[in-house]
Amino acid sequence: MIRDGLPMRIVVLGGSGFIGTRLVKRLLEAGHDVVIGDIRASETYPYLWRHCDVRDVNAVKEICEGTDVIYNLAAEHRDDVFPLSRYHEVNVDGARVVCEAAEATGIDHIIFTSSVAVYGLGTNDADECVQPRPFNEYGRTKLVAEGIYREWCSRSAGRRLVIVRPTVVIGEGNRGNFYQLARQIATGRFVMVGSGKNRKSMAYVENVAAFLEFGLGFGRGEHVYNYVDKPDLDMNSLVELIRTELGRAPRPPFKVPYWLGLLAGAGCDLLRLVTRRNFPLSVVRVKKFCANTQFNADRAHSSGFKAPVDLLTGVQRTIAWEFNSAKDRMEWEPVKSI
């Protein structure tokens, strides 16, 4: 998207990451002048990268000088962050810093990646009108950050704010929950906690990046969008789909009751407090795994946006890249950075 027929200068905070790298690729292909601001160097675009901590107002102001648009993808998002205050420092204080930098440099256009975590657990096709009820610090701090950006936008009629709330994002190179699930299935160590009938919304990384780029074209004012790729699969169906893509014979997974999973997660949480080590299991992760988390993205998909890749193809690409032979991986070669 080119504004007024001209390419724009765009800063992508958090642009070295999984989604950010794909977004930068799309922006460059569209002809924009892009700068990546991140605490971690970009493996794919080192010549565009400048060290920038979103909590450092002077660094953010400096990188934003002469910029038309700020994307903020920088976030503290893992389940095992310690201490919990880091969520507030990066997600909330970072939002304040970005808004202060935008004020100081005269930027009137911000695109912020929030999260469906603002809605909480147990959601059933939640759309943007549902009252947010975050259940953890990540969701709570993302919701507070949204309020900071909205207050910034409200101070001038000429400002543009786009808030995108992606669901769980899958794709090549991501080492998040989907990869961990597939790896457990691939190694034969997967155990289903609960009935497996709970449904999950997902999104493919190339589609999320494409929608973030599409957001450049939204007009003045505030715009809030969930982003999800359909269909929503229940956990039983998702496990069988992954097994099929891995070339494994169909078989029902071994299941343990939800209460037993919570007990095991609580034990790992206690060990984490004592040892200061992270463990693959926690109460939060068990609750997230067993919860029904479905979200409605009709607003995004009726905005004129067309997802470039369907979800099932995204699952196939991800599995092929991560677990299949080198020959299979060549067909779906992604950008290098995660």
What secondary structure does DSSP assign to 27-95, as a single string? Answer: HHHTT-EEEEEESS--SS-GGGEEE--TT-HHHHHHHHTT-SEEEE------TT-SSTHHHIIIIIHHH
Q: Which of 45, 71, 87, 138 is catalytic?
A: 138
What's this model's pTM, rounded to 2 decimal places?
A: 0.89
Is pLDDT above 60 for 8? yes
225 carries an active-site annotation:
no
Least confident of 47-56, 111-120, 241-250, 277-286: 277-286
Report residue 2's pLDDT band, with 50, 70 and 90 as the boundaries.
low
Over the Cα atoms of the chain, what is R_g?
Answer: 20
Residue 286 confidence (pLDDT) above 60: yes
- Average pLDDT, integer, range 242-265: 87
pLDDT by residue (tens digit) across 47-58? 999 999 999 999
The rounded distance, in Å, linking the Cα atoms of 283 and 271 is 12
Q: Spell out the residues 6+ positions from residue 107 whose beta carbon is closer than 8 angstroms to its own.
A: 64, 67, 68, 69, 70, 101
What confidence tier does 337 reach under pLDDT thresholds 50, 70, 90?
A: very low
